[in-house]
Structure 1
Amino acid sequence: MIFKFVLLLVVVIGFIFVGKQEKITKEVLIDSGHFGTKYNFDTALKIVRDRKSSKEDKSEAYYELGSICERYADKLHRENQDKAKIEKYYDIAFRSYLNSAELENFKAYSNLAKMYHYGKGTKKDIQKASLYYEKACRAYSSNPFLIADCYEWGKIKGFHNPMTFLKEKCTNKDAEACFMIGALQQTYSLDNKNSSYYWIPYKELGLNVMSQENALFYFKKACDLGHQQACDEIKAYKNSLKSKNLRF
């Protein structure tokens, strides 16, 4: 308990120092390309300083601070700015993600994995990266988009293929897992290059060659297990065939 308090104090002092010395403003940080955050920099900082803040709010605030500072450091790196300055922001980002993860924010797992993987804000440690990638992949049911982060894990030689988690769960009658596999099969359409999943090589995720047939196979498994969205996908596909005068 004392250790966590000291760690919190160190991080807060770090933010205060950065705020005074570097004159960081939310406008500068937003300029780094970070959009869609729940909290802006100032609000997030107030939340982590407030002892009355809930665990959930603090975990999210730490995550936002980490994400903002990481993106800002990335921007400085692209602009070939001072190395010490870049490392300082990566360090703040890493510590923020660590605090967020300690408060059980699963979104921070994949960020920590990447920080360890690429040695950003901390010493490169593939073993720790593996640990956090695994935690992130196992948390996919709360946020399906984490499967995109699992791809990074799959790139490291010798790591367990993350799609195995989905397949194992689907085999064990996990409706959400079956639906996710179907959704990924369907999303990897060559006609849908704007898809957020398009850039991920589906073969590297352990999927068969993408096809609507494969998607329907998994949607049916999910639907049979009571997954309403999967049933809706099947119904929508049938209707699309009817409009083309085709038979399902």
Structure 2
Amino acid sequence: MSRQRTVALVAAAVAVLGAGGAALAARSGDDRSAAAPRATVSSGPPQRVVLPGRPGDPATVTDSDKVRAPDGSTYNAVDTAFVQMMIVHHGQAVEMAKLAPERAADTRLRALAQRIGAAQTPEITWMQGWLRDRRQPASDPAHDHRTMPGMQSDADLGALAGLRGADFDRRFVAMMADHHRGAIKMAGDVLAGGTDQQLYEFANEMAVEQGSEIRRMQQLGIG
């Protein structure tokens, strides 16, 4: 499948899933229409990137669209920013999923939450390795993770942790669906602006899987 077609498919998924997610949010009383502006992975002009040297060697500076990994593959600042942000984004989904076993009333939802945690935990490990292999920092202080698409506030997470039974189920579905839609949006950004082929495949598969999980949550009929 061509890169252009994959980007188009992910964009279409964002639009379709957004409609379903809005209905879920409405049923749960979750109003995100006044949320803070969302952060996106920029696909603008190349930026200057500092590449740490080996011990004893000086660092070098190059354009972000000309950086090469040890295996010879090309990556850019869009790829790096996506990985740095997605590690945090996945971490929040795993944190939410861990709440379900002791709080969810619906056994199907508990199973889905377990699946989400089991899938995203090793993905975090893979992304951390991607950064290490390229000698890139694990995070960028310039990123405001609170404004990433789909990120839930500390207050929302605290409220979710205080719920039990059907109330937890409704709130979890609304929050996780919103979180997944945000991840799909971020995947679309890196598919459009990144250059790393391995990361391109990872982002595409992640978007497809999270879209499938949104549909599973919708099919539970919790609301």
Report which of the two has the higher share of helix.
1
What TM-score results when the alignment is normalised by the length of structure 1?
0.29
Give the number of the structure whose residues are more often strand, by fraction: 2
Relative contact order: is structure 1 or structure 2 higher (C-alpha 8 Å, sep ≥ 6)? 2
Q: Which has the larger radius of gyration?
A: 1
